[in-house]
Chains A and B, each alone.
Chain A
Amino acid sequence: MTVLLELKGVNKSFGALRVAQDVTFDLPEGQALGVIGPNGAGKSTLFNLIGGALPPSSGQIAFDGHDVTRTPASARCRAGVARSFQIPHPFVGMSVFENLLVASSFGESGHTDPEAAAAHILDITGLRHRANRHAGSLTLLERKRLELSRALATGPKLLLLDEIAGGLTEGECHDLVATIKDVQSTGVSIIWIEHIVHALMAVVDRLIVIDFGRIVADGDPATVMAQPEVQEIYMGISVEDAA
Chain B
Amino acid sequence: MANRILQALLALTILALALAPLWAGRADLRLLMEVLAYLALAQMWNLLAGYTGLISVGQQAWVGLGGYLFFALTILGGVPVFAAFPLAALLTAVLAVPTGWVAFRLQGAYFAIGTWVIAEVYRLVAAQVGALGGGSGISLPVAVAKSIAETRMGREYVMYYIAFALAVIAVAGVWLILRSRWGLALTAIRDSEVAAESVGVNTMRSKFLIYVITAGLTGLTGAFLFFQKLRITPDAAFSVNDWTAFVIFIVVIGGIGTIEGPIIGTILFFALREVAADWGTWYLMGLGALAIAVMLIDKRGLWGAIHARWGLSILPVSRNLPD
Contacts and interface: CB of A to CB of B under 8 A. Distances in A.
Interface residues of A, number: 39
A78 B200 CA distance: 5
Interface in A11-46: none
A231 interface: no
Nearest to B258: A93
Contact of A103 (B191, B199, B319): B199
Contacts of A75: 202
Contacts of A91: 187-188, 191-192, 195-196
A150 B198 CA distance: 10
Interface in B72-101: none
B187 A93 contact: yes
A92 B196 CA distance: 12
Interface stretch (A115-123, A185-193, A215-223, A235-243): A115-123
A199 to B, nearest CB: 23
A213 B315 CA distance: 50
A134 B156 CA distance: 46
B199 A150 contact: yes
Interface in B139-196: 181, 184-185, 187-188, 190-192, 194-196
Contact of B198 (A77, A94, A97, A101): A77
B199 A107 contact: yes
A14 B103 CA distance: 25
A225 interface: no
B199 A82 contact: yes
B318 interface: yes
Interface in B286-320: 318-320
9 contacts: A74-B202, A77-B199, A91-B191, A92-B191, A97-B320, A98-B184, A101-B319, A102-B196, A119-B321
Interface of B: 181, 184-185, 187-188, 190-192, 194-204, 257, 318-321
Given A102-B196, A106-B185, 17 more contacts: A51-B198, A53-B194, A53-B197, A72-B204, A74-B202, A78-B200, A82-B198, A83-B198, A85-B195, A89-B198, A90-B192, A91-B192, A92-B192, A93-B187, A93-B191, A102-B184, A154-B199
